[in-house]
Amino acid sequence: MQISLITLNARYSHSCPALFHVRNALAQAMPGSRLLLRQFTINDPYYQTLVRITSDQPQAICFSVYIWNAEYTMRLVGDLHRILPKVLIILGGPEATFMAVESLPAGCTVVRGEVEGLGDDFFRDLAAGILQAEYLAASGPLFAMPYRESDFAPHLENRNIYYESSRGCPFSCSYCLSSVGQGVRYRELGEVERDLAQILSHGPKIIRFVDRTFNALPERALAIWRWLLAQPGETLFHFEIAPDLFSEEMLSFLAEVPQGRFQFEIGLQSTNPATLEAVNRRMDLARAGENIRRLVAAGNIHLHLDLILGLPCETEATFRTSLNEAFAMAPHHLQMGLLKVLPGTAISRAAEEFGLVSSATPPYSVLATRWLDHADLRRLFWLGECLEGFYNNRFFRNILEYIRKTGEEPFGFFAQLLTICQGADFFALAKTQEFMTRMLVELAQDRTDGELFCELVRFDWLVSGQRLSAPLLDAESSKEIRDHLWRRLPEELPPHYARLTRNEFFKRGVFARFSAALLKAVGLADGDSSGYVCFLPEQEHVAGHQRQRHTVFFLEEQPGPGIVASTGSARADFTL
């Protein structure tokens, strides 16, 4: 039997481990079948995807369905049923698990649960071409790594590789599908190491652990981390972690992890205890905050922090507090995601109690709650989009840090910025760095610290790699400053002329003058003198972000004419 195994990933760099699990189960139960794996994306042209599927001349098609590809998949299912009425269509995956059979085209089959738990009856029926409308898999089956050696070149090259060392979640959060199952199944560490050694032998750029709470067993997590870092290569490892479950030993170890090897996705969700209790989320908030701050301070692990908008008991005031507290933790990426009221979850059954109104189609985004009417939720949603645009990039790191240091309320800052953005139709247009810079310059006009704020905008523009003047900001030209410094700086100025010759240094650098207040705000000085900053062509990785290397020069009177050069916090004196 010719069987096509198909999914639609969110983007090309993603991969779908479910297809490989299904392939292995079919290969074992139906060894004579011909199995074809197809990974499309939800951004692919629809008709091209359709005809590529039909050109394979399948006798059966298995789709892996989840909320982000469900709409596209069901469109394909409808058309495939019309043009290939004799082909068996099988739907599985988290979204299919809760589909009503009567809502599907005639002849479709739904598999509920994990493929490893399917009984022999499914495979016998499939081979005979007489499938029932639905099959229910047994719970809690064993599972293994789904990849074969032959998978890496055709199916996984240049993609994220997803790996699960455990399945299930120790928590029972009412909004999560992982809460539907019971318990966690952990694979033996020896098996995990053998799997990962095979994957790492292919030099993947990133391995994403899909364990729902990777650090649920701290000693086990630490053992895997130590093994990973003992292996050669520069693969990046991604983990979903609970911020309050770090031991002191883990934090000490993580402080020494090389830059660019680990990244953490942290589900904070809310800092409102009543909200966490309402969704059955157990968390020590004080410890979570302390651990996140320690990880941020180490500066070697990229941290992605999630809040969820629209949870029960979350008012605008409590969400405002959650955002302010999350911002103060200074994660590298801060996301305000909408609650998804997923079918089959406990929160979907309590929708009436919580006054949850949500979209009837995937991804089932919340539209209103008992605590936030639609207008309130809409306003907070756009605030989150504003945060997404201005926080989650490398363009404005010093502005964001300035807000933290001065104690300005983040929610109020982004609310003011949102007003300006909406007036410029920001969310309907391309969010270029120049456009965002213009929004910030406009915001500065009504600020009491407007002059310094504009300098911060200009500094961030240049330190992010721009080589021309920032829009709407008047300043001396880089050429004028370059010519001035060329005349004043000495012929020998290590370490600046060690990496580049003097000519290269002036030819390739971008020069700007800044006030003492700006230099103090960005950590380049602590005195009362203005200075000249040279933005060098090389980039450096600092606190989870790339930026241009830069050096500040102070031309000031010493006992004789003198120059002070500073890079970051290091200073050296030179006498002319």
Inform me whether the pLDDT recorded for 569 exceeds 60: no
CB atoms within 10 A of CB 133: 12
Percent of the chain scored above 90 by pLDDT?
78
pLDDT at res. 556:
61
What average pLDDT does the segment 80-96 reach?
A: 94
Question: Which uninterrupted H or E stretch holds 112?
Answer: strand 108-112
- Structure tokens of 85? 């009425």
| pLDDT, tens only, 232-265 | 999 999 999 999 999 999 999 999 999 999 999 9
Overall average pLDDT of the 514-528 stretch: 93
Burial class (CB in 10 A: 0-12, 13-18, 19+), 183: exposed
- β-pair partners for 475: none
Instruction: Give the pLDDT band (50/70/90) at residue 575.
Output: very low
Residue 558: pLDDT over 50: no
Q: What is the pLDDT of residue 567?
A: 47
List pLDDT tens digits, range 447-485.
999 999 999 999 999 999 999 888 888 888 888 998 999
Cross-strand bridge partners of residue 304: 265, 333
Q: Judge: domain 2-136, CATH 3.40.50.720.
A: no
Among the residue ranges 82-91, 92-101, 435-444, the one predicted with the least confidence is 92-101
Angle at which helix 46-55 crosses helix 70-83, to 10 degrees, equals 50
* Strands 134-136 and 2-9, sheet pairing: unpaired
* Contact by Cβ (8 Å): 177, 342: yes
Residue 51's pLDDT is what?
98
Q: Which residue has the higher pLDDT, 102 or 269?
A: 269
Per-residue confidence (pLDDT) for residue 186, from 0 to 100:
95
Instruction: Quote the CA–CA distance of 342 and 95 in Å, as a whole number.
Output: 9
Q: Pairing state of beta strands 60-64 and 88-92?
A: parallel
Residue corresponding to tokens 């979209």? 359
* For residues 151-171, average pLDDT: 94
pTM of the model: 0.92
Cis omega (within 30 of 0) for bond into 495: yes
Confidence of residue 572 (pLDDT cuts 50, 70, 90): very low
Residue 568 confidence (pLDDT):
41
Q: Residue 234, Cβ neighbours under 10 Å: how many?
A: 9
Residue 443 has what pLDDT? 97
DSSP notation for 301-317: SEEEEEEEET-TT--HH
CA 17 to chain CA centroid, Å, is 19
Report residue 565's pLDDT band, with 50, 70 and 90 as the boundaries.
low
Query: How many Å apart are CA 99 and CA 110, to the nearest integer?
Result: 8
Q: What is the distance between the alpha carbons of residues 330 and 545, in angstroms, rounded to a whole number?
A: 12
Token pair listed for 196? 């990962």
Contact present, 298 and 329 (Cβ < 8 Å): no
Residues 6+ apart with CB under 8 A from 382: 418, 422, 427
Residue range 327-338: mean pLDDT, rounded: 96
DSSP conformation class of 536 = E
Residue 31 CB contacts under 8 Å (≥ 6 apart), including other chains? none
Rounded to the nearest integer, the mean pLDDT of the chain is: 92
Structure confidence at residue 345 (pLDDT): 93
Mean pLDDT for 348-355 is 96
Residue 564, pLDDT score:
54
For the segment 363-406, what is each residue's pLDDT rounded down to a tens digit? Answer: 999 999 999 999 999 999 999 999 999 999 989 999 999 999 99
Q: Domain residue spans in the chain?
A: 2-136, 160-391, 393-474, 478-575
Which CATH class for the 160-391 domain? alpha beta
Kind and range of the H or E run holding 38: strand 34-41
Q: What is the pLDDT of residue 560?
A: 40
Q: Please give the backbone phi and psi of residue 362, each rounded to the nearest 5 degrees, phi first.
A: -55, 140
pLDDT of residue 543: 63
Compute the distance between CA of residue 186 and CA of residue 164 in angstroms, rounded to an integer. 9
